[in-house]
Amino acid sequence: MMICTCNECRFMFKGSNSIKRCPDCGAENIRPATDMEYEEYISYQKEFYPQGQTA
């Protein structure tokens, strides 16, 4: 699983190398998440999906 971050709107999402646009704003300026962003994403998942299911 790869977590990506949009440089335009800062939206974080699960992605792959084939994703070229942000699913939130449509910008083409996305990149792999930094270690800090990855930890933030995992923290949000645990907070909003405590039973282990993910978005």
- 53 in a domain, yes or no? no
Question: How does pLDDT run across 12-39, given as a tens digit for each residue?
Answer: 999 888 889 999 999 999 999 999 999 9
Owner of token pair 């999906």: 49
Q: Are strands 30-32 and 2-6 parallel, antiparallel or unpaired?
A: antiparallel
The CATH number that applies at residue 30 is 2.20.28
- 54 in a domain, yes or no? no
Q: Is the pLDDT of residue 55 over 60?
A: no
Is the pTM above the cut of 0.95? Answer: no
Q: Which of 18, 21, 14, 17 is nearest to 38 (CA)?
A: 14
Of 1-5, 10-14, 23-27, 38-42, give the lowest mean pLDDT range: 1-5
- 10 in a domain, yes or no? yes
